[in-house]
Amino acid sequence: MLTEVTATRYVTPLREGGSLPGIVEADDLGTYVMKFTGAGQGRKTLVAEVICGRLGQRLGLRVPELVAIELDPVIGLGEPDQEVQELLKASGGLNLGMDFLPGSIGFDPLAYEVDPVEAGRAVWFDALINNVDRSWRNPNMLVWHGDLWLIDHGATMIWHHNWPGAAASAAKGYDASDHALAPFKPDFVAAAAELAPLVTEELLVDVAAEVPDEWLVDEPGFEDTDGVRRAYVAALLPRAATIHERITLNAPSKSRPSQAPGWLTGRTGTQGEGA
C-alpha cells in the first residue's frame, strides 16, 4: 500500500493543471504535489495515477514517488481563494501526493535531446496505459537534474470509465504521432522486447493492490474492491504483450500537418528502430 502522510500546510495551487492540484507540506517533512478526491475528474484520476505511476516505477521509468495524503478539510478555512477553499473542503480524507521535484523544469523538445532508447521506453509505456496526455501540446514531463521524469497519469486507461467495454477498448491501438517524444525516433520495438516480459500478472496484481480501497468502493458492476483490481489486471496484461504491434507513429504530411516543435527542427519520427 501507499505510504500515508498527513497534510500540515497548503502552500499554493498549480493552476496549469486542469484538476487544480496544489503543493502541500506533510508531517513527514516532505513537500508534495497533491491531487484531490474532490476535483472534477473524480477518484478514478487518482486510481490511474497510482496504477500507472507504480507500474512505471517498477519498469524502471522515472516517476516521482507517490504517497497517500490524509487531508483535514479545516485546512481550507484559511484559504482566500474561494475555488481552492471549496476544493479542500470537498477533499477530506485520503488524497494522492507526488513527490515535489524542486528546481525541475517542463520538458521542451527544442532544449532537451532524448535518445531513441529512452524515448522508445516512454512511448511504449504510454501505449500500454493508453496515455492520451503526453502530446507536444502538454508533454507532462519534467527535466530534473538532467534526467527526464514522467508525471501526470490521470488521463490514462480510459476503459475504466466504461468497464463493460473495457476489453474492446484495451485491445485498440495507440496513435503516438503527436507524442511529445515522437520526433526523437523512439525505438518502441526494442522497448517492448525489454519491458513487456516484465509486465506479469503478479506485477500487475501488486501494483493494483496499492490503490486504497476507498477509491474503489461502490464501482458499478463489481461486488467488491478486489473485483475492480482484477479488472485492471485483465485489461493491462494482454495489452502489454502486443501493443507495440499497434503503435502508429507517422511523420507529418501535407494531409496531416503538425506544429509540434520537435518536428520543426527536422527530426523525423519512425516506427521504431527495429520496425
Task: Give the model confidence (pLDDT) of 9-34 as tens digits.
Answer: 999 999 775 678 999 999 999 999 99
| C-alpha cell belonging to residue 206 | 501488486
The residues, any chain, with a CB within 8 Å of residue 144's CB and separated by 6 or more, are: 101, 103, 104, 105
Which of 77, 99, 121 lies at the terminal end of a domain, its last residue? 99
Which of 75, 99, 123 lies at the terminal end of a domain, its last residue? 99
Please state the rounded mean pLDDT for residues 59-87.
92
Alpha-carbon span 166 to 44, nearest angstrom = 14
Amino acid (one-letter) located at 72: D
Comparing C-alpha atoms, which of 205, 206, 155, 200 is closest to residue 48? Answer: 155
Q: What is the pLDDT of residue 258?
A: 53
Co-location of 23 and 76 in the same domain: yes
| C-alpha cell belonging to residue 19 | 484538476
Task: Report CA 260 to chain centroid distance, whole Å.
Answer: 21
Alpha-carbon span 183 to 269, nearest angstrom = 5
The residues, any chain, with a CB within 8 Å of residue 228's CB and separated by 6 or more, are: 216, 219, 222
Q: How many CB atoms lie within 10 A of CB 70?
A: 14
3-class state of residue 142 by DSSP? strand
Domain containing 119: what range? 105-264
Residue range 128-138, pLDDT digits in tens: 999 999 998 89
Residue 139 placed within a domain: yes
Instruction: Indicate the number of domains in the chain.
Output: 2
Q: What is the pTM of this model?
A: 0.91
Co-location of 83 and 116 in the same domain: no
| C-alpha cell belonging to residue 253 | 504530411
Distances (CA, A) of 221 to 51, 89, 105, 218, 228: 20, 29, 42, 9, 9
Going by pLDDT thresholds of 50, 70 and 90, the confidence category of residue 267 is low
Comparing C-alpha atoms, which of 206, 196, 210 is closest to residue 59? Answer: 196
Co-location of 213 and 137 in the same domain: yes
The residues, any chain, with a CB within 8 Å of residue 26's CB and separated by 6 or more, are: 5, 6, 7, 8, 32, 67, 69, 97
Residue range 112-159, pLDDT digits in tens: 999 999 999 999 999 999 999 999 889 999 999 999 999 999 999 999
What is the percent of the chain with per-residue pLDDT over 90, rounded to a whole number?
79
Co-location of 181 and 250 in the same domain: yes
Which of 99, 115, 134 lies at the terminal end of a domain, its last residue? 99
CB 71 within 8 A of CB 243: no
Co-location of 73 and 145 in the same domain: no
